Amino acid sequence: MVDYEVYGLQIRSDSDIPGFVACSTHHGHIDVTVTFDLSIGRHRDASTTWHKHPRLVDRRPVDPGVATVRLQESEDYAWVAVTYSDGARFLISADGSAVQVLPADGMDRDSVSTYLVNPVLALCLRFQGLTSLHACAISIDDRSAVFVGPSGAGKSTLAYALDRLGHAVLTDDVTVLRDSPHMISPGYPRIRLWPWTVDGLLGDPEALPRVSSDWAKRSAPINRFLRSSVPLGAVCLLDGFEAQLSVEQVSPAMALMALMENVYLNYLLDDAARRADFLQLCSVVESVPVVRVRRPRDLSGLDNATAALVASLQAHMTRPGTDGTSAKATQEGATSIQSV
Amino acid sequence: MTLRPMNWMRSHVSFEVAPDVLYRTFGNEAVLLHLASERYYSLNDSAARMWELLAGGRSTQETASAVASEFDASEEVVLADLTALLVGLLSARLVVERP
């Protein structure tokens, strides 16, 4: 058995999980057990009838470049089967405490683990009642800055740049919100980068190894990886690129809408989960500053732009918040409802 | 039966938040999420206050009076704004009339 602590979960696996770093043996409660070896009679697929999950449905439009996912529920409601379009299949207990891994034919451990370490563990967290954001998290002055954005927003590139500047990277792609005040727990000490980003940063797309044989992304080690949680200090909405770095604080209302759009796996979630996320994220935007960040796309200026961003965030994290409660005299036509 | 706009103001009509709507007021703005349509709505300062009062069970008349007083505005202007807001809220199915 190998023990890990990832996203604040105490994990026990029957085999190594690529990318994770083993920790000392857990002596207390185990949050998630992971089983790769299903030859010993615990294979739920062999004894279970599955039906389409009534609430968890992939609502994304079909994109040939993105693996779709199908969720089923066991006849006794105790397990959820998660099947990707390439055949990788995971059986997750409904309370998120156990995962059985069933690779597709010919799929190696590295490949199947790309699903396990992010979306499948994020589902376990979800089943345990926790909200995750599509975000990376960095420790700056002992507080975590969480950089939120959809795929392609540049989260991992920014994490890599911050790592290079000496800041501790807590997570690369998934950031879990737990407790209040919110504490951000570390994930695993790897950053995943597209080869063209590696080429732009290091001059050679092959400068870093592939995450797995069937995925183009490269795996960069995190130089300074923390083992402990860091209190949330600020949230940054990565909102595209422009010639000059800009950092501006956004209202809690705008921040809430942006964060709801960036809940990890939000395309799968039912109304009950979205209600829980809404409450959790209200608490976030009420407790820390949320800023919108636009930055240069050019990687040659990445270090300078990132250093300037850090300086701006340090100022935002020490500035007292504004409550914005002043009422303005209403004027004809001033009352508005706006669909966003 | 849906009342015509003028009737909302003549009588002590009140509304409640639709069951599939989440909302939060932050100071002088509010966010509404309609779960069924997955659409968000933002309300500006006076609209947010009207929403807060309506969601709290206040009638249209009570809401208009309170907002007129708090914002130092004429009741005529507030009534027009409230009517416009209710038309928007009802058409987006964000509120339902209390039985």
8 Å CB contact of B39 and A340 = yes
- pLDDT score of A288: 94
In 10 A of CB B45, how many CB atoms? Answer: 22
Report pTM: 0.90
Judged by a CB distance cut-off of 8 A, whether residue B47 touches chain A is yes
If 0-12 CB within 10 Å is exposed, 13-18 middle and 19+ buried, where does residue A104 land? middle
Mean pLDDT of A184-198: 95
Interface test with A, best of B21, B28, B50, B86 (most A CBs within 10 A): B28
- Rounded to the nearest angstrom, the minimum Cα separation between A134 and chain B is 18
Sheet with A190-193: strands ordered across? A190-193, A215-221, A210-212
Mean pLDDT of A37-49: 71
pLDDT at B69 over 70: yes
* Region of poorest pLDDT, from A186-190, A323-327, B16-20: A323-327
8 Å CB contact of A253 and B42 = yes
**ipTM score for this prediction:** 0.89
Task: Strands of A222-329 (E only): list them.
Answer: 230-241, 246-249, 290-295
- pLDDT score of B7: 65
Rounded distance, CA A173 to CA A271, Å?
A: 24
- Rounded to the nearest angstrom, the minimum Cα separation between B99 and chain A is 24
8 Å CB contact of A337 and B92 = yes
